[in-house]
Structure 1
Amino acid sequence: MHDYRSMFDLTGREALVVGAGSGIGRAGAEALAAFGARVFCADVDAEAARGTAREISEAGGRAEALELDMRSTPSVEAAAERVGTPDVLVCTPSINVRKPLLKITDEEFDRVVDLNLKGTFRVIRQFAPGMAERGSGSIIAFSSIRAQTVEPGQGVYAATKAGTVQMLRALAAELGERGVRVNAIAPGIVETPLTAQIKDSPEWYDAYARKTALARWAKPHELAGMIVYLASDASSYVTGALMFVDGGWTAADGRFVPPLPAI
């Protein structure tokens, strides 16, 4: 019988988590370490990255911190010199400019695209070749429910998240025969620094909660299970996928629902 108990075991593997200083990236780094991986905690905020690595080490895990700015090719290259070729690459950072599309300036457009889409490209371009040469690896990057469902004021952000999915699918097709799996995760509403503007508004916060089937926001640790799954052998036949962790946001249309008999 297959050894099912070991499917999630990451002992002996190395993972690079970009965006590990806070939010989903931090939770993902902690979870990967808890399942046995040695984790490189990377973030543009070096002190935040050190905080995550320190917390993992204090819990008995193995972690190192490093500074990495996805907007800078030299920064990504410098990180690669230190890390080498990890077994798992997780890329979480994003930014958003909440404005009507026709009010977006060139600078704002470029800023969102440069981090969300091109930044992800810079990272996978740097680390994927080594994985392909070795013949194994799992690349996990973050998209969003906005890749498929839009909201006024998030046009450019949505475009980058849809673009990320297609870019990753292309890479999955290109590297599949070389043993590299490439997948995207689409979170719903998660309490992170990115959503602080909405979270701080009771009206927005409640409206977003009601849109989900679970009627609540997610905590960052609730995304960690999907990260571990895609990093591990439990997902050995999963590539080119977009995995929704959205509390049912995309399952329901959000219109008025007539009352149903109590169950």
Structure 2
Amino acid sequence: MTSLDYATMFRLDGRHAVVVGCGGIGGEIAAGLAAQGARVSCLDKDPATAEAVRDGLADHQTRAHAAYPVDVLDPASVGRVAEDLGDVDVLVLTAATNVRKRVLDYSAEEFDRVVGLNLRATFDVVRAFAPRMVERGSGSIVALTSIRAVVVEPGQGVYAATKAGVTQLVKTLSAELGPSGVRINAVAPGVVETPLTEQIRADEAWGRAYAEKSALGRWARPEEMVGAVCWLASDAASFVTGSQVMVDGGWTAIDGRFTPPFG
């Protein structure tokens, strides 16, 4: 007889989920986790963003959700919040930045800024939250990476390097934390309509080329990232760790933008 209840295995009732980075995709993920029954703590550098997302969760359940200002570039700040939050069942990391330049045009400051937020902060946040999961023998961590972890284009080199680095951290942590019952996975979005991609979408030809690169022929909406995260957070993914789930509309499955004629 299975130990999983198929009727509830996607539910997160009674679990405490923390979302780090609540703008755009992060806000939708927080809403999705709450809709599945989790109590959600919203963490963001901008207190107003964290509070707005928390307040938007009020209709999902009567439990008290929380909002915390936290600068993920400050390990001490992250550590204090992790201590305040206590036991955490689900940790989702979404914070990221990009400077779209060719590598030879990058300044050292720009390199440090992108690596610091995308890679170093992932390292620091996991180190702050994972030990208590290890002590309890359970937990699910989900890091958002990108299609750029596996495919790249001019101007995306440093960003891509950080996302590939996060992917390798996820794999290593899955090996190190797995024996303690803690799972860690990545969700890799394709092109998503967020403030980070506004520059691309503002250029009609550029935006259309990106849309046509995927099998579905369009950009993703932020809410389309939620299902993969909620699945990985839940018991439905109880034997999934060290994986990177591509939520890219088929971008990485297709070679080039040309559709050849048939017949």
Instruction: Report if aligned partners of 2:212, 2:257 keep a CA contact under 8 Å in 1.
Output: no
SS of alignment partner, residue 89 of structure 1: strand
Instruction: Report if aligned partners of 2:213, 2:257 keep a CA contact under 8 Å in 1.
Output: no
- CA-to-aligned-CA distance 1:206-259 (integer Å, 9 cap, x gap): 110000100000111100000100000000000000110000000001142212
Q: 1:127-206 residue pairs with structure 2 within 5 A?
A: 127-206=129-208
Distance 1:111 1:142 in 2: 18
1:220 matched to 2:227: no
Over the aligned positions, Cα root-mean-square deviation in angstroms equals 1.1
Stretches of structure 2 lacking an aligned partner (at least 5 in a row)? none
The residue identity in structure 1 corresponding to 2:94 is: T
Distance 1:58 1:255, change over 3 A: closer
Match of 2:72 in 1: 70
Instruction: Report if aligned partners of 2:37, 2:61 keep a CA contact under 8 Å in 1.
Output: no
The residue identity in structure 2 corresponding to 1:216 is: R
Match of 1:92 in 2: 94
Instruction: Report if aligned partners of 1:38, 1:61 keep a CA contact under 8 Å in 2.
Output: no
Distance 1:61 1:24 in 2: 24
Instruction: Report if aligned partners of 1:94, 1:194 keep a CA contact under 8 Å in 2.
Output: no
Per-residue deviation at 1:168? Answer: 1.1
Distance 1:101 1:18 in 2: 28
Per-residue deviation at 1:132? Answer: 0.6
Q: 1:3-152 residue pairs with structure 2 within 5 A?
A: 3-20=5-22, 22-60=23-61, 62=63, 63-152=65-154
Distance 1:109 1:10, change over 3 A: same
Per-residue deviation at 1:58? Answer: 3.4
The residue identity in structure 2 corresponding to 1:248 is: G
Q: How many residues align?
A: 260
Q: Which runs of 4+ in 1 moved over 6 A?
A: none
Distance 1:159 1:215, change over 3 A: same
Per-residue deviation at 1:61? Answer: 5.4
SS of alignment partner, residue 32 of structure 1: helix
Deviates more, 1:80-89 or 1:182-191: 80-89
Distance 2:157 2:120 in 1: 17
TM-score of the pair, normalised by structure 1:
0.96
Distance 1:28 1:61 in 2: 19
Instruction: Report if aligned partners of 1:17, 1:91 keep a CA contact under 8 Å in 2.
Output: yes
The residue identity in structure 2 corresponding to 1:169 is: K
SS of alignment partner, residue 33 of structure 2: helix
Q: Identity, % of aligned pairs?
A: 56
Per-residue deviation at 1:260? Answer: 2.5
Instruction: Report if aligned partners of 1:10, 1:36 keep a CA contact under 8 Å in 2.
Output: yes
Instruction: Report if aligned partners of 1:117, 1:163 keep a CA contact under 8 Å in 2.
Output: yes
Distance 2:62 2:31 in 1: 8
TM-score of the pair, normalised by structure 2:
0.96
Instruction: Report if aligned partners of 1:131, 1:180 keep a CA contact under 8 Å in 2.
Output: yes
The residue identity in structure 2 corresponding to 1:24 is: I
Match of 1:254 in 2: 256
The residue identity in structure 2 corresponding to 1:172 is: S
Instruction: Report if aligned partners of 2:96, 2:117 keep a CA contact under 8 Å in 1.
Output: yes
Distance 2:195 2:123 in 1: 22
